[in-house]
């Protein structure tokens, strides 16, 4: 009897052991996640925000260089157009990079895309350093679009990579890595381009390329990063390699069979990869694709891009001096970063639906309040303080979910065969909307005034409604189950 009891206890322990051990944070998993984030997402976020502070010096250099090289004397309007192109061409590169990301992720692997984006970012850094030495505005433009291509690859492939090396319970923690990396890069770029660092007239080109420091640290041990087991198993059908990679990532052989069975179920009766036409025309993928594109686009159209690009002018319009506005903008960037660093914990502890409903709803309300306060600041002087408070409150609400979730929610909505293409489409929408806001906001603001923020508020409300009606809970749920929940389009019953 005692032997039978002991045997039962051993069997019960062996059943529970895989679940416990499968969630271990092994050195390979941790280093692969941190190294890929710091080596790629941080430089991409850096490139997004690096040209704001030294803009005065860069514009002057462009004007003088074109006059010396070609005898072109640029008017203020023409210089504004050229500068808008220098800013926006990074986002155009992001759109193009996202368009190629689906093919590259399947062809070279998730880790291979990390290497490819690194090559592009490295090439861009050399162009930034050289453009001032060679006195070439063209090289500056080419460098911006090249790093944009790298950014498009990173924003598509990195969340996919993180979600596929993580166990189910770790997906939320690792899934926000890309968004956190971009936030870190934005703040680091603000620090590196201070006037006393690399933001001066003679040093701005060093500021543009300083992200290479992070790449040098994180790409050196590239060969030791893990490859995605799902890519090995489903796309390349290298089953033994996939099993061995899972064992290294989990630190144990226990519980591996469950993950292998889940991958086999995901791959059964399906092609290993799907093309663009297959994904777009499949009625079962219509709703998840709409959700992904709405989150990627809504993230930008809810007002975050306007705040990130024009926070200094917004603070200045609120009555602050130029120097104080710059300091407040840096404070806003640090608040954004601080809240984003909480994202891994939030995604682990709280449901995706709850966080997205809170985030999108509150962002919409804050933008609504912000529009009215800006409009009537002259009549009600204390509204100027309210506008500043709204910016900080917006950033807190934004980083609850609207900031980090769009980067990884696609990996929880789509199975592997269609995942890379779907994430590529979603990121093209996100980068495209980012470009539209960054490029058109000044002219739209001059036309609509403060009421432009009501437009941003409307998009926040639309994301709230879409989430309420059609987003299933994906935290801790197998992707095959989620895919089935949203397979009936607008007739899907996502809440049981």
User: Domains in the chain, ordered, with CATH?
Assistant: 26-272 (1.20.1250.20), 278-496 (1.20.1250.20)
Per-residue pLDDT, 269: 53
Specify whether the CB–CB gap between 392 and 247 falls below 8 A: no
Concatenating the DSSP letter of every residue in 344-383 gives HHHHHHS-HHHHHHHHHHHHHHHHHHHHHHHHTTTTSTTH
Residue 47, φ and ψ in degrees, nearest 5: -65, -25
Give residues with Cβ within 8 angstroms of 465, minimum separation 6. none
Tokens, residue 125: 């850094």
* End-to-end CA gap in the chain: 44
Q: How far is CA 124 from CA 82, 150, 252, 341, 485, in A?
A: 19, 9, 41, 28, 43
State how far the Cα of 173 lies from the Cα of 163, in Å rounded to an integer: 9
| Cα 67 from Cα 158, distance rounded (Å) | 42
Contacts of 187 (CB under 8 A, 6+ apart): 330, 333, 334, 336, 337
- Token pair of 172, please? 């939320």
Q: Which DSSP state fits 235? A: I
What contacts 313, CB < 8 A, 6 or more positions away? 325
For 90-129, the DSSP string reads HHHHHHHHHHHHHHHHHHH-HHHHHHHHHHHHHHHHHHHH
pLDDT of residue 385: 80
E strand or H helix at 191:
helix 177-192
What is the torsion angle, in degrees rounded to the nearest 10, for the CA atoms of residue 172, residue 473, residue 296 and residue 453? -110
Q: In 234-389, where do the E strands start and end?
A: none
Tell me the C-alpha to C-alpha distance, in Å, between residue 114 and each of 37, 289, 344, 413, 459: 10, 24, 21, 22, 32
How many CA atoms within 13 Å lie on the side-chain side of 463? 37
Distances 391 to 308, 315, 375, 381 between C-alpha atoms, Å:
10, 9, 15, 17
Q: Which two tokens stand for residue 68?
A: 């010396």
Task: Determine contact, residues 427/289, Cβ cutoff 8 Å.
Answer: no
Q: For the whole prediction, is pTM greater than 0.85?
A: no
Q: Can you give the pLDDT at residue 488? A: 87
Ranges of residues in the chain with a pLDDT under 50 are 1-22
- Whole-number pLDDT of residue 75: 87
Distance of alpha carbon 410 from alpha carbon 423, whole angstroms? 6
Closest among 426, 414, 472, 160 to 284, alpha carbons compared: 414
Q: Residue 321, SS3?
A: coil
CA distances to 127, 189, 383 from 392, in Å = 36, 20, 14
> Which has the closest alpha carbon to 399: 334, 336, 347, 467?
336
Q: How many residues are there in the chain? A: 496
Measured CA angle at 157 (ends 215, 24), to 5 deg:
80
DSSP strand E in 365-456: where?
none
- With tokens 């001096």, the residue in question is 321
Q: Report residue 186: phi and psi, to 5°.
A: -60, -45
CB 262 within 8 A of CB 229: no
The pLDDT assigned to 268 comes to: 65
**Which helix (H) or strand (E) element contains residue 483?**
helix 479-485
Task: For the chain, give the longest Cα–Cα distance.
Answer: 98
Q: Distance between alpha carbon 485 and the CA centroid of its chain, in Å? A: 26
Please tell me the distance from the alpha carbon of residue 177 to that of residue 248, in angstroms, as a whole number: 21
Around 436, how many Cα atoms within 13 Å sit in the side-chain half-sphere?
14
The token pair that represents 438 in the structure block: 């960054």
């Amino acid at each position: 009897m005692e032997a039978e009891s002991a045997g039962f206890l051993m069997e019960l322990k062996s059943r529970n052991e895989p679940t416990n051990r499968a969630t271990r944070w092994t050195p390979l998993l941790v280093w692969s996640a941190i190294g890929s984030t710091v080596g790629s997402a941080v430089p991409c976020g850096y490139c997004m925000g690096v040209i704001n502070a030294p803009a005065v010096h860069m514009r002057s250099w462009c004007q003088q260089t074109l006059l010396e090289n070609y005898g072109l004397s640029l008017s203020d309007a023409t210089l504004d157009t050229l500068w808008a192109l220098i800013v926006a061409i990074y986002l155009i590169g992001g759109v193009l990079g996202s368009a190629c990301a689906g093919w590259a992720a399947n062809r070279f692997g998730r880790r291979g895309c990390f290497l490819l984006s690194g090559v592009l970012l490295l090439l861009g850094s050399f162009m930034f350093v050289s453009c001032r030495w060679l006195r070439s505005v063209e090289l500056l433009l080419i460098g911006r679009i090249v790093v944009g291509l790298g950014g498009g690859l990173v924003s598509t492939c990195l969340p996919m990579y993180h979600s596929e090396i993580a166990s189910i319970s770790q997906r939320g923690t690792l899934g926000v890595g890309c968004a956190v990396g971009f936030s870190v890069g934005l703040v680091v770029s603000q620090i590196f381009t201070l006037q006393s660092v690399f933001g001066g007239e003679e040093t701005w080109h060093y500021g543009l390329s300083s992200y290479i420091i992070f790449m040098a640290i994180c790409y050196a041990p590239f060969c030791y990063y893990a490859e995605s087991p799902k890519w090995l198993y489903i796309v390349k059908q290298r089953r033994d390699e996939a099993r061995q990679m899972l064992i290294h990532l989990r630190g144990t052989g226990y519980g591996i069979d469950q993950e292998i069975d889940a991958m086999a179920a995901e791959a059964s009766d399906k092609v290993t990869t799907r093309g663009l036409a297959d994904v777009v025309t499949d009625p079962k993928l219509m709703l998840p694709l709409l959700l992904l594109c709405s989150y990627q686009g809504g993230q930008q159209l809810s007002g975050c891009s306007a705040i990130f690009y024009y926070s200094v002018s917004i603070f200045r319009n609120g009555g602050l001096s130029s120097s104080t506005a710059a300091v407040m903008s840096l404070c806003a960037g640090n608040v954004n970063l601080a809240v984003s660093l909480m994202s891994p914990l939030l995604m682990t502890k709280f449901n995706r639906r709850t966080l997205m409903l809170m985030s999108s709803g509150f962002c919409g309300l804050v933008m609504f309040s912000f529009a009215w306060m800006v409009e009537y600041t002259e009549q009600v002087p204390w509204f100027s303080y309210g506008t500043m408070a709204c910016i900080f409150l917006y950033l807190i609400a934004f980083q609850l979910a609207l900031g980090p979730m769009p980067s990884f929610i696609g990996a929880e909505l789509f199975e592997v065969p269609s995942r890379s293409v779907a994430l590529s489409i979603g990121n093209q929408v996100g980068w495209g909307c980012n470009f539209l806001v960054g490029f058109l906001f000044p002219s739209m603001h001059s036309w609509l005034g403060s009421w432009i923020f009501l437009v941003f508020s409307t998009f926040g409300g639309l994301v709230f409604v879409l989430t309420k009606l059609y987003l299933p809970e994906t935290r801790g749920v197998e992707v095959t189950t989620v895919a089935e929940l949203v397979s009936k389009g607008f007739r899907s019953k996502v809440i049981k």
